[in-house]
């Protein structure tokens, strides 16, 4: 059997595994709800009305954002808060095999583990893009109506906004690959889940905020996964803090270009997958 035929069969088997479980659509529902609520709240906050209400108690001037920048900020809620979902899915795609002991029949059906890992990577990227679509359903589906109701332009027909939406799908696919690499390297499902939640919800946001204070650290902080994602997508909450609050300390450092951000994420995902292929994937199975 040719490599392509074997890869096709392995990919089909991996897809069948995914859709035979409830976890994929439960994660999808969480993605839509979590991102949608965040986008709706952010749309109110960055609107003229929300900014006036926020500034009324402090006396600070309301932040003035371009309509396109406002829309991009709202729609980028997918990558600002929702990346934990494709990352978690990718990790579960690998660690579930070890937790439930299904790796043995998987390897018996396809002894070439490189093909198995490649098939998982294809499925991870496809499902990551799917979670990106679901996230956009939440961010655009709730964010755009709130913007329109508050007199703001949803700007859905603007080329810049369309570019942000399309690059969001690339970002979520790459984050799913990051999760797969992490899960395949660790093999422990509990460890992978703890690391995913801790890193995305606490560690990296704190690192990005601290790094933004000094120019030398801000230059290094551009290569953190979240910073690279904001560069790839073209918008993000943390990367927009300076525009939202001019008083926030921020070193003047040029952000990565969108393609540079994509390369950083791809390199991180590729590095994790390569490390897993050279170590964990070579171990004996029980």
Q: Are 180 and 273 in contact (CB under 8 A)?
A: yes
Q: Where are the alpha helices (DSSP H) in 187-240?
A: 189-198, 204-211, 215-221, 225-233
- Indicate the DSSP class of residue 191: H
DSSP structure string for 93-119: HHHHHHHTT-HHHHHHH---HHHHHHH
Q: How far is CA 229 from the centre of its chain?
A: 7
Q: Which pLDDT value is given to residue 237?
A: 83
Q: Are 79 and 183 in contact (CB under 8 A)?
A: no
The mean per-residue pLDDT over the stretch 210-227 comes to 87
Domains identified in the chain, total number: 1
- State the Cα–Cα distance between residues 112 and 252, nearest whole angstrom: 49
Q: Which pLDDT value is given to residue 247?
A: 56
**205 is in which domain, residue-wise?**
3-282
Q: Which pLDDT value is given to residue 217?
A: 84
CA distances 2 to 6, 10, 113, 114, 265, Å, are: 6, 12, 15, 14, 31
226-247 pLDDT tens trace: 999 999 999 988 777 655 555 5
pTM: 0.92
21-70 pLDDT tens trace: 899 999 999 999 999 999 999 999 887 655 555 554 555 555 567 889 99
- Indicate the DSSP class of residue 153: -
DSSP structure string for 258-286: HHHHHHHHHHHHHHHHHHHHHTGGGS---
Q: In the structure encoding, which two tokens stand for residue 22, read together? A: 């409830």
pLDDT greater than 60 at residue 153: yes
Q: Which pLDDT value is given to residue 283?
A: 66
Instruction: Select the more confidently predicted residue: 217 or 33.
Output: 33
Q: Are 174 and 235 in contact (CB under 8 A)?
A: no
Q: Which pLDDT value is given to residue 173?
A: 98
Residue 216: burial class (beta carbons within 10 Å; 0-12, 13-18, 19+):
exposed
* Cα 251–Cα 255–Cα 258 angle in degrees, nearest 5: 165
Three-state DSSP at 130 gives helix
266-277 pLDDT tens trace: 999 999 999 999
- State the Cα–Cα distance between residues 75 and 207, nearest whole angstrom: 24
The mean per-residue pLDDT over the stretch 178-187 comes to 94
pLDDT greater than 90 at residue 281: no
The mean per-residue pLDDT over the stretch 217-225 comes to 89
Q: Which pLDDT value is given to residue 98?
A: 85
């Amino acid at each position: 059997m040719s490599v392509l035929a074997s890869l096709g069969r392995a990919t089909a088997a991996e897809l069948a595994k995914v859709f035979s479980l409830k976890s994929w659509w439960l994660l999808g529902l969480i993605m839509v709800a979590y991102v949608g609520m965040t986008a709706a709240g952010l749309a109110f906050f960055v609107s003229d009305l929300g900014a006036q209400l926020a500034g009324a108690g402090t006396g600070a001037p309301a932040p003035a954002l371009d309509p396109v920048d406002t829309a991009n900020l709202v729609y980028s809620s997918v990558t600002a808060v929702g990346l934990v979902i494709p990352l978690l899915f990718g990790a579960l795609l690998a660690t579930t095999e070890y937790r439930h002991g299904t790796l043995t029949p998987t390897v018996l059906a396809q002894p070439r583990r490189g093909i198995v890992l490649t098939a998982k990577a294809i499925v991870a990227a496809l499902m990551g893009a799917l979670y990106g679509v679901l996230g956009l359903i939440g961010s655009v589906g709730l964010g755009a109506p709130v913007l329109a109701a508050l007199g703001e332009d949803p700007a859905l027909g603007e080329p810049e906004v369309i570019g942000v939406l399309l690059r969001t799908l690339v970002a979520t696919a790459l984050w799913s690959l990051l999760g797969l690499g992490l899960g395949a390297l660790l093999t422990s499902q509990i460890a992978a889940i703890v690391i995913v939640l801790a890193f995305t919800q606490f560690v990296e946001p704190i690192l990005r905020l601290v790094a933004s204070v000094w120019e030398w650290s801000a230059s290094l902080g551009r290569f953190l996964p979240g910073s690279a994602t904001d560069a790839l997508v073209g918008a993000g909450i943390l990367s927009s803090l300076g525009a939202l609050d001019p008083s926030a300390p921020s070193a003047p450092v040029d952000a990565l270009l969108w393609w540079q951000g994509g390369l950083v994420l791809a390199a991180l995902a590729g590095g994790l997958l390569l490390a897993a292929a050279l170590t964990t994937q070579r171990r004996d199975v029980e």
